[in-house]
Chain A
Amino acid sequence: MIWDEEFETMPREALDSLQAYRLRKIAERVYATVPFYKEAFDKAKIHPSRIKSLEDLKRLPFTNKTDLRDNYPFKLFTLPLHEVVRIHASSGTTGKPTVVGYTKRDIDTWSALMARTLSCAGVQKGDVVQNAYGYGLFTGGLGFHYGSEKLGATVIPISGGNTKRQIMIMEDFGSTVLVCTPSYALTIAEVMDEMGVKKERLKLRVGIFGAEPWSRNMRQQVETKLGIQAVDIYGLSEVIGPGVSVECIEAKNGLHIFEDHFIPEVIDPDTGESLPYGEAGELVFTTLTKEAFPVIRYRTKDITRLFPEPCRCGRTHVRMDRVTGRTDDMLIIRGVNFFPSQIESLLMDIEGLEPHYQIIVRREGTLDTLEVRIEVNEAVFSDEIRKLESLEKKVTGECREMLGISAKIKLVEPKTLQRFEGKAKRVIDERNIQ
C-alpha cells in the first residue's frame, strides 16, 4: 500500500524539479539563519541564489559530524528555541551528543514519513505495532510511535528491554508488527525459545528492523525464528530519524529513499567525489523540507550503493542497498579492509551456528590479530573434539578465503557473549592506535 501516491510515485523529471526548487529554498534558509552555513558557503564560493539545478548540489560544502559537535547544542538550528517543539540527540558515546530539533511542522512531516514507512512494510490500520525501539532522546521510539498513530494503527509503546514481558505482551495483546533492532529481534526469539513460547502462538506477521547494519542471512534467521516477513529500515537523527528510507514488503530489495524530502548522494569517502549509481561509497544526505534543523550534504559515514531503477511496488524513488558498514567501523587488519557484517554473513551461512558472535582485534607486537568468538549451540555441539575442531577449521578457512587474512576462531559457551536490546556492538578493538 502506498501512503502518499502523488509523491511516492512521482515521475523522475517532476521529482528532479521539485528537488531543485526545494534545494534552493533550503540553501537560502540555512545561509540566512545559520552562521556556520554562511561561512561554509562563502568559503566554497557558492551563493544560494546561484543554485539553478540539482547539478549545483555538488558545489555545496559537506557537513560532518564534527561540525555538529562544534556547534553543540543549538547553533545549527535555523530558528530560536521557542519555535522548536522537540529535541532529540544521539547517545554521545564518543563525546558530546549531536543535538537535533523539530518544529511543529517538522514533527508532522516526520510522522507522515513514518506512516509512509509503515505502509511500505504493509502495515495498516488495524495492525498492532509493538514498538520496542527505545523511547527518549533516541529518535527510533518516538518516530515509530507518531508514525503508527498517524497511520491509524494501534501502537504499544513498550520501548526496549524486559524481554520476557515483551513476549507476554506480544502474546496477550496480539501484536502483529514488531519494530526494534534486528539483534534485539533475535534476542526475543531466543528468550521465546527458553520460555517455550512457540511462534505459532503469536500473531506477528511483519517486523521493521534497523538502527544497525545486518546481513541477508540474519534476515532469514529473524524471519524463520519469528515466522514473519522482515524489512530493513534506515534513518538517522541528523537527517530526521527513522523514516529516511525503508524496504517495501513487495520486493524487499533495497530501501526506498523518500526523495521528495531528502537528496541522497554516494561519495568516495577519501576524495569526496560523487560516485555513479551502483558504486559503493559513503552516503550523504541533504534535507529538503526540515525547518528547525536542516542539513546540507551531511556525511553519514554509512557505506551503501544507490539504485535508480523503479521498483515493482510502483514507487519511483531511488533505492539504497542495505548498509554494509560504516567508514568508522571498517576494520583494517594487516592492510585488509572489511566490515564486521561480512563475518556475520559468513557465520550465518554455516548451518547451526548461532547468530551470536564477537570480533576481537588485538595488536601483538607489530601484528594485528583477529579473533572471532562464536557461541556453541546444540546444533553444532558434538561429544567429539575433532568435529568441533573441524568447525573451527571451516570458519578459519572461509575467513581466509573471503578476507584473505587468518582469524583465530574461539568457540565459547552459550549466553556468554553480550546480548543487545538496542544497537549491537560486535567489535572489540583492543589496539591502542594513536
Chain B
Amino acid sequence: MKVKQISVFMENKSGRLAQITRVLGDADINILTLSLADTADFGILRLLVSDNEKAVRALKAAGFTVGENDVLAVDIPDRPGGLADFLELIGVNDINIEYMYAYRKGGKSILIFRFEDLDRAGKIFADTPFKLLSSEELYGLS
C-alpha cells in the first residue's frame, strides 16, 4: 500500500518556498505534510497534498521541475519507544532508509518513509503491528 508523493526541485534562493506554496494555495491544494532536504546549492521539497495531479499541473505551469514517486505512510504506536521498535525491525531486515519525515494528525503518529526497496519493506510490515496507510486513509484523517 503505497502513497504518492510529489517532489519539487528548488534552488536555495530566498522566497522560493513561499512561491511554491503560493502556487499550490492558488490552485486550491491543501498540503498534508512536507519535508525539505537541502544542500548548499539546492533543495528538494517533498510533499503530500490533497490532489497530486492538480498540484503537479500547477507547479509545472509555474515552471518548476516536479517529480512523483511512491512512499510508505506507517502508523507508529504513539508511545515511548514506538519509533525505536519500528526502526529496529527495519534494521534487522537490512532495509535502507533514503529519508523519512513525520506527520501527526487525528491522534495518530504517522511516519512517511522512502526505502531503498519499497516493495520488500511493504511485505515485511504486513505481519507486524505497524499499519500502512493508504492515500485515502491519510487524507481522511481528521
What residues of chain A have their CB less than 8 Å away from a CB belonging to chain B?
376-378, 381-386, 388-389, 410-416
A378 touches B65 (CB 8 A): yes
What residues of chain B have their CB less than 8 Å away from a CB belonging to chain A?
5, 7, 9-11, 37, 39, 41-42, 44, 46, 63-67, 69, 98-99, 114
Question: How far does the Cβ of B9 sit from chain A's closest Cβ, in whole Å?
Answer: 5
A384 touches B11 (CB 8 A): no
A410 to B65, CA, bound (A): 15
B39 touches A385 (CB 8 A): yes
A377 to B98, CA, bound (A): 22
Question: How far does the Cβ of A203 sit from chain B's closest Cβ, in whole Å?
Answer: 29
Question: How far does the Cβ of B15 sit from chain A's closest Cβ, in whole Å?
Answer: 13
Q: Using known A-B contacts A383-B46, A384-B99, A388-B42, determine if residue A378 contacts B67 with beta carbons closer than 8 Å.
A: yes
A383 touches B44 (CB 8 A): yes
Question: How far does the Cβ of B8 sit from chain A's closest Cβ, in whole Å?
Answer: 9
- For the complex of A and B, the 3 pairs showing the least CB-CB separation, nearest first, are A383-B7, A381-B65, A376-B9
A376 to B10, CA, bound (A): 10
B11 touches A385 (CB 8 A): no
A309 to B32, CA, bound (A): 68
Which residues from A are CB-within-8-Å of B69?
Answer: 383
A412 to B12, CA, bound (A): 9
A415 touches B37 (CB 8 A): no
A411 touches B41 (CB 8 A): yes
8 Å CB contact of A381 from B9, B46, B63? B9
B67 touches A382 (CB 8 A): yes
Question: How far does the Cβ of A158 sit from chain B's closest Cβ, in whole Å?
Answer: 26
8 Å CB contact of B9 from A386, A389, A410, A413? A413
The secondary structure that dominates the A interface is loop
Question: How far does the Cβ of A396 sit from chain B's closest Cβ, in whole Å?
Answer: 13
Residue of A nearest to B99 (CB): A384
Residue of B nearest to A412 (CB): B11
B41 touches A413 (CB 8 A): no
A378 to B42, CA, bound (A): 15
Which residues from A are CB-within-8-Å of B37?
Answer: 385
Which residues from B are CB-within-8-Å of A389?
Answer: 39
A388 touches B65 (CB 8 A): no
B39 touches A413 (CB 8 A): no
Which residues from A are CB-within-8-Å of B63?
Answer: 413-415
Residue of A nearest to B7 (CB): A383
Which residues from A are CB-within-8-Å of B9?
Answer: 376, 381, 388, 411, 413
Q: A376-B65, A378-B65 are in contact. List 17 more A-B contacts (CB 8 A).
A: A377-B65, A381-B7, A381-B67, A382-B67, A383-B7, A383-B114, A384-B98, A384-B114, A385-B39, A388-B9, A410-B41, A411-B11, A411-B42, A412-B11, A412-B42, A413-B65, A414-B65
Which residues from A are CB-within-8-Å of B65?
Answer: 376-378, 381, 413-414
A398 to B7, CA, bound (A): 28
25 contacts between A and B (CB under 8 A): A376-B9, A376-B42, A378-B65, A381-B65, A381-B66, A381-B67, A383-B5, A385-B37, A385-B39, A385-B44, A385-B99, A386-B98, A388-B9, A388-B39, A388-B42, A389-B39, A410-B41, A411-B11, A411-B41, A412-B42, A413-B9, A413-B10, A413-B11, A413-B65, A414-B63
Which residues from A are CB-within-8-Å of B41?
Answer: 410-411
Question: How far does the Cβ of A416 sit from chain B's closest Cβ, in whole Å?
Answer: 7
A416 to B44, CA, bound (A): 17
A377 to B67, CA, bound (A): 10
A35 to B141, CA, bound (A): 89
Residue of B nearest to A413 (CB): B11
B39 touches A416 (CB 8 A): no
A378 to B99, CA, bound (A): 20
Q: Using known A-B contacts A383-B114, A385-B37, A385-B39, determine if residue A413 contacts B5 with beta carbons closer than 8 Å.
A: no
A412 to B9, CA, bound (A): 9
Question: How far does the Cβ of B65 sit from chain A's closest Cβ, in whole Å?
Answer: 5
Which residues from A are CB-within-8-Å of B64?
Answer: 413-414
Question: How far does the Cβ of B103 sit from chain A's closest Cβ, in whole Å?
Answer: 16
A386 to B114, CA, bound (A): 13
A388 to B99, CA, bound (A): 14
A376 to B11, CA, bound (A): 10
A376 to B66, CA, bound (A): 10
Residue of A nearest to B40 (CB): A410
Which residues from A are CB-within-8-Å of B99?
Answer: 384-385
Question: How far does the Cβ of B20 sit from chain A's closest Cβ, in whole Å?
Answer: 11
Question: How far does the Cβ of A413 sit from chain B's closest Cβ, in whole Å?
Answer: 5
A410 to B44, CA, bound (A): 14
A383 to B5, CA, bound (A): 9
Question: How far does the Cβ of B17 sit from chain A's closest Cβ, in whole Å?
Answer: 13
Which residues from B are CB-within-8-Å of A412?
Answer: 11, 42
A310 to B64, CA, bound (A): 50
Question: How far does the Cβ of B37 sit from chain A's closest Cβ, in whole Å?
Answer: 5
Question: How far does the Cβ of A417 sit from chain B's closest Cβ, in whole Å?
Answer: 12
8 Å CB contact of B44 from A388, A414, A415? A388
Which residues from A are CB-within-8-Å of B39?
Answer: 385, 388-389
Which residues from A are CB-within-8-Å of B114?
Answer: 383-384
Question: How far does the Cβ of A272 sit from chain B's closest Cβ, in whole Å?
Answer: 45
A381 to B69, CA, bound (A): 11
Residue of B nearest to A408 (CB): B41
Which residues from A are CB-within-8-Å of B5?
Answer: 383
